[in-house]
Structure formats: structure tokens, C-alpha cells
């Protein structure tokens, strides 16, 4: 059988890989996407996890997907539809709660249950976060400037970012620097009075990072999420009709209509090279596919250190790649429910705004810190901090029977490496029971309505989605692993030391989340280099 020949091979059919494929096909190239799993989408997929119950399996909300990507790939034409939600619900074990709806008068009263001053402080805080987020957003669809060997364009890019910062007033610049390099705990203590409000802010400070609130620079992951928007509304979040898989299925259909060939069950074993440049790939099946350009959506360690033969990279580069810190101590659960969750903090069976909210179960700022310290010692947090949603309250396509629901849980912190030589396959049942027992304190009728659950431990995220140590961001979002350092100064502009090999995934600038930005940027770089 003759070897297949393409202009570009994209390794990995996650959302960034599909984004890259779309833009390259728009540029007139013959593109093939190779996906290891039976379905494209990476961590942004929707699947039935129990008969009659479907949900976003891993990634579960959208905000960061760039509007340019949505428009240019015509995703709405292919089925992409957002279902915005503005409510946030913070229940307490003592029966108190904060329920935020976006209505200014209502929300002020909610804050004033705990503090007379914190509502104004929160408004000021979010205003500064939004301003800083605007500066960061301008950098997302640009290549970061080169540390060395850069040209005039790199100088201009750096100057433009500096001018954007200079436009801020003195106080905002001061706060911006604090957000960039300060520890979240010191920022929270400086700004807010009430323990409840401190817990609310803490719950959003480190959404995807495995870090302590006392870690300098940890607030950057929160700023990363501040870049998001839905239909032009900054900082908004939404569900996707049909789950997050609708995004990637829309991307796949858009790509196929442009002539992109997508192959599933086609895991790549080796990137083939000759004379310092790529020539194609060898699949796990032994089949070879040829191309002079390869864009890898796989995280950098696997791309460089497993898919390439030793000796293809400079020693110092390989050593630095090997030192990339990968950790995201989160555990994902999906619950199938045959009734409405009844929260202890808000009595009654009536469906209310709290059911259509992001639900944050955090007892205090110290609760988050204790959970982190537990995980750092190799012990799953008990109790964990839990971020929850009941997406079927907004999207009834997720269940087959009226009155049934699905619930998403993101539980922090859960270590990849367990203490005392324990393994996740053995420990998973106990950890799941502990989580459900704890959640029952907030939802007393949970045992009565729980039909089934799906659980993805950090080990499961690694095995199922190719995320080493369960790191959903392909590398921690910390100052020395962002911008011109992501994943390395010699690969931060998507091209790499191996001729024809490019990075297009979350391990490249600007980092993790369902953004499409690395994929778009990488495609632009490839087309520019041709």
C-alpha cells in the first residue's frame, strides 16, 4: 500500500489541533489530523456515562474560546450554541449562603449579609482584574516576543504591551503587579474583610493550578480565566448546548468541509525525521504517514521526549523540557440523578436560581489551603473544595427522562502520586464515597436521587486523555512557564528546534483552557514560514 502524503499532519484531535487544521486548510494546505482515541475532542467531549444521561466528560464550561475562532471557523453554523449562566451559589454547612445573580441590588444585599464594605471592594477588585485581563487578551492571539535572536517585530510587540500598561492609572499598575507576582492570600487579605467573601474570592483564584494560596505568582491562573467572554460580555461563562463535545464536533465538521482528513484510533508512536527535519509519523499500528510539516497538539514532554528519537534535540533544550512542571490535582465526577437536588441552605424542592448556578463548596479560605496541603502530602483532600454545576437545569438535552438531571463536580485537591505506595485504582472507591458523603451534608437528599456516577482521577485523566499527571493545562500556569517561556524560549513562537515541527496545543502560549488560541497562532506561524 502506498504511503499517504500530506502537507501537514496534526497530532491530536483536541480542540487546538482541530483549530490548527481548520486554519491550515483555509490556507490551501492538505491536512490530516491523527487522533489516538475513538473520538476527536481531547478533553472537550460529550458522552453518555449512564443510559439516558450525557454530559461533558472532562472540560465542562466555556468562556475562554476566542470569538475570532468562533467566527472564522463558523462554529455556530455547525451547531455551536452557548447557554449563558450568571448565577453563583456559595452554601455553608451552617445553613447560610451567598447567591449572586448579576443583579446589582440583589447581589449587594447578599454581600451585606456578611460585610458592609466588601461589595464595594469586590467591584473595585473585579474592575482591576478586568483591566489586566484586557491587556492579557491582546497578547493571546499574538506570538510572545523572543528572548533572544528576535527581530524588529519582537521589539514592537514588547513596546505595545508596555504602552498598554502605561495607559493604566498608577494605582491599577500597582495592583496589576501584585496580581502578576503576589500570593493570592496576601491579595485577598489586603482587599476583603469578611471570611465568607475571602472564601468566595479564594475559590476563583487558582481555577486550574495545583498551587497554594501562599504561592507568589499563583494569581496568574485566575487572570488567565479573566480573559474570557460570552457574546461580548467580559468575564461571562456558559454551558454549551449538548455539552463541550459540541464545540469539537463543530470544529471537526468545519475542518472536514475544508478537505481535512480526520483519522480516529490513529495514535502516533514516533515522529520521523531526516537531516534535522520531520518527514512524517509512524502510527502505533506501524503505518507511516508522510508530511514535511507536523503540528503537535500533544503536551511538550511527550512530543519532544517520547515521540522524537534521542539526539534530535539540543541537550540543554531536552533537559529544560524534561523539567516542565506538570500537575493539576483535580478529580472530575459526573452524577446521574433521578430527581432535583435539595440544598440544606435553601429549603424546598422548588427549582431556583441556585440550581442554575456555578456551585462552590468551600468552607473557608483555610479549607482550600488544607486541601492543598493534604494533596501535597499525597493524601486526597477530605473534604475537598468542590466546584459543581447542574447543567441539565439549563440544557434538557442531556437526559432522556423529564425530571432527571446530571451534575458535574470538580474536586480539589487530589494528588497524582499517592502516599505510602497506594494507587488510584484501589483508592478510587473510598475517595468517591468520601466525596459523596461530604456532598450529602450540603444536599441531604443526594443518596435518594443518585443513580450512578462517573469518576476521573488524575490517573484516569492521564490514561484517557493523554494528560500527564492529570494536568489539564499541559504544564502549570506559573510565571516561569508562561508567555515567552512556554514551554521554552526556543519553542515559544510555536516553531521548534526540529525543522518542520510545531507546537499547537495548551503547552504553548497562552496556555490551558478551551481557547483555540494556541491552535490559531500555530497555524498562522506555519503559514508564515511557508
Domain boundaries, the chain: 4-44+63-81+241-324+487-529, 120-236
> Quick one: average pLDDT of 336-342?
97
Identify the pLDDT of residue 206. Answer: 77
Identify the pLDDT of residue 155. Answer: 47
Q: How many residues does the chain have?
A: 530
DSSP state of 495: B
- Predicted confidence (pLDDT) at residue 156 exceeds the cutoff of 60: no
CB 61 within 8 A of CB 237: yes
The tens digit of pLDDT for each residue in 383-406 reads: 999 999 999 999 999 999 999 999
Closest CA to 18 of 36, 40, 37, 47: 40
Collapse the DSSP code of 483 into the 3-class scheme (helix H, G, I; strand E, B; otherwise coil) and give the result: helix
How far is it, in rounded angstroms, from Cα 246 to Cα 65? 13
Q: Which CATH superfamily is domain 4-44+63-81+241-324+487-529 in?
A: FAD/NAD(P)-binding domain (3.50.50.60)
- Grid cell at residue 67: 470569538
The tens digit of pLDDT for each residue in 249-303 reads: 999 999 999 999 999 999 999 999 999 999 999 999 999 999 999 999 999 999 9
Angle, CA 306 vertex, CA 303 and CA 310 arms, to 5°: 110
Other beta carbons within 10 angstroms of residue 149's beta carbon come to 8
Angle, CA 35 vertex, CA 29 and CA 39 arms, to 5°: 120
Closest CA to 219 of 89, 329, 129: 129
- Grid cell at residue 229: 467572554
For cell 500556569, what's the residue? Answer: 477
- Grid cell at residue 387: 466546584
158 falls in which pLDDT band (50, 70, 90)? low
181 falls in which pLDDT band (50, 70, 90)? confident
Angle, CA 375 vertex, CA 373 and CA 380 arms, to 5°: 130
Identify the pLDDT of residue 171. Answer: 72
Strands 261-263 and 31-34: what pairing? Answer: parallel
CB 12 within 8 A of CB 36: yes
86 falls in which pLDDT band (50, 70, 90)? confident
Out of 51-55, 161-165, 166-170, the most confident range is: 51-55
Identify the pLDDT of residue 227. Answer: 82
Residues with Cβ within 8 Å of residue 255, at least 6 apart in sequence: 18, 21, 22, 25, 31, 33, 262
Collapse the DSSP code of 444 into the 3-class scheme (helix H, G, I; strand E, B; otherwise coil) and give the result: coil
152 falls in which pLDDT band (50, 70, 90)? very low
Identify the pLDDT of residue 359. Answer: 97
Instruction: Return the CA Rg of the chain.
Output: 23
- Grid cell at residue 162: 508596555
Q: Which residues pair with 432 in a beta bridge?
A: none
Amino acid at each position: 500500500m502506498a504511503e499517504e502524503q500530506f502537507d501537514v499532519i496534526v497530532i491530536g484531535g483536541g480542540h487546538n489541533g482541530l483549530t490548527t487544521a481548520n486554519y491550515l486548510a483555509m490556507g490551501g494546505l492538505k491536512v490530516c489530523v491523527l487522533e489516538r482515541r475513538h473520538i476527536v475532542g481531547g478533553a472537550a467531549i460529550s458522552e453518555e456515562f449512564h443510559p439516558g444521561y450525557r454530559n461533558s466528560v472532562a472540560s465542562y464550561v466555556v468562556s475562554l474560546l476566542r470569538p475570532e475562532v468562533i467566527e472564522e471557523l463558523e462554529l455556530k453554523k455547525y451547531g455551536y450554541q452557548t447557554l449563558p449562566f450568571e448565577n453563583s451559589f456559595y452554601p455553608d454547612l451552617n445553613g447560610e449562603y451567598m447567591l449572586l445573580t448579576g443583579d446589582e441590588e440583589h447581589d449587594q444585599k447578599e454581600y451585606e449579609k456578611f460585610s458592609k464594605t466588601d461589595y464595594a471592594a469586590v467591584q473595585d477588585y473585579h474592575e482591576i482584574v478586568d483591566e489586566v485581563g484586557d491587556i492579557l487578551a491582546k497578547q493571546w492571539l499574538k506570538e510572545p516576543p523572543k528572548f533572544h535572536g528576535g527581530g524588529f517585530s519582537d521589539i514592537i510587540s514588547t513596546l505595545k504591551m508596555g504602552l498598554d500598561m502605561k495607559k493604566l492609572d498608577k494605582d491599577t499598575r500597582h495592583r496589576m503587579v501584585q496580581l502578576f507576582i503576589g500570593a493570592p492570600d496576601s491579595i485577598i487579605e489586603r482587599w476583603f474583610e469578611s471570611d465568607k467573601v475571602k472564601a468566595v474570592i479564594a475559590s476563583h483564584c487558582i481555577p486550574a493550578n495545583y498551587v497554594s494560596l501562599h504561592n507568589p505568582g499563583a494569581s496568574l491562573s485566575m487572570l488567565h480565566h479573566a480573559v474570557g467572554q460570552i457574546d461580548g460580555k467580559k468575564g461571562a461563562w456558559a454551558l454549551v448546548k449538548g455539552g463541550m463535545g459540541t464545540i469539537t464536533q463543530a470544529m471537526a465538521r468545519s475542518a472536514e468541509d475544508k478537505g481535512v482528513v480526520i483519522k480516529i484510533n490513529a495514535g502516533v508512536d514516533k515522529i520521523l525525521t531526516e537531516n534535522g527535519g520531520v518527514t512524517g509519523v509512524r502510527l502505533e499500528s506501524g503505518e507511516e504517514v508522510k508530511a514535511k510539516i507536523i503540528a503537535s497538539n500533544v503536551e511538550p514532554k511527550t512530543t519532544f521526549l517520547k515521540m522524537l528519537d534521542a539526539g534530535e534535540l539540543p541537550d540543554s533544550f531536552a533537559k529544560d523540557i524534561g523539567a516542565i512542571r506538570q500537575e493539576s490535582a483535580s478529580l472530575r465526577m459526573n452524577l446521574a440523578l433521578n430527581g432535583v437536588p435539595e440544598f440544606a441552605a435553601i429549603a424546598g424542592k422548588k427549582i431556583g436560581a441556585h440550581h442554575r448556578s456555578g456551585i462552590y463548596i468551600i468552607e473557608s479560605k483555610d479549607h482550600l489551603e488544607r486541601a492543598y496541603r493534604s494533596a501535597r502530602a499525597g493524601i486526597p483532600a477530605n473534604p475537598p473544595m468542590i466546584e459543581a454545576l447542574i447543567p441539565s437545569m439549563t440544557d434538557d438535552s442531556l437526559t432522556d427522562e423529564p425530571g432527571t438531571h446530571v451534575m458535574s463536580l470538580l474536586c480539589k485537591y487530589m494528588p497524582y502520586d499517592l502516599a505510602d505506595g497506594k494507587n488510584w485504582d484501589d483508592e478510587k472507591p473510598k475517595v468517591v464515597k468520601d466525596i459523596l458523603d461530604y456532598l450529602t451534608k450540603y444536599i441531604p437528599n443526594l443518596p435518594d436521587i443518585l443513580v450512578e456516577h462517573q469518576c476521573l482521577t488524575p490517573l484516569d485523566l492521564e490514561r484517557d486523555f493523554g494528560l500527564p499527571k492529570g494536568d489539564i493545562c499541559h504544564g502549570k500556569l506559573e510565571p516561569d512557564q508562561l508567555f515567552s517561556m512556554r514551554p521554552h524560549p526556543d519553542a515559544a513562537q510555536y516553531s521548534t528546534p526540529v525543522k518542520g515541527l510545531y507546537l499547537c496545543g495548551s503547552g504553548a502560549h497562552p496556555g490551558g483552557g478551551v481557547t483555540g488560541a494556541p491552535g490559531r497562532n500555530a497555524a498562522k506561524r506555519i503559514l508564515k514560514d511557508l
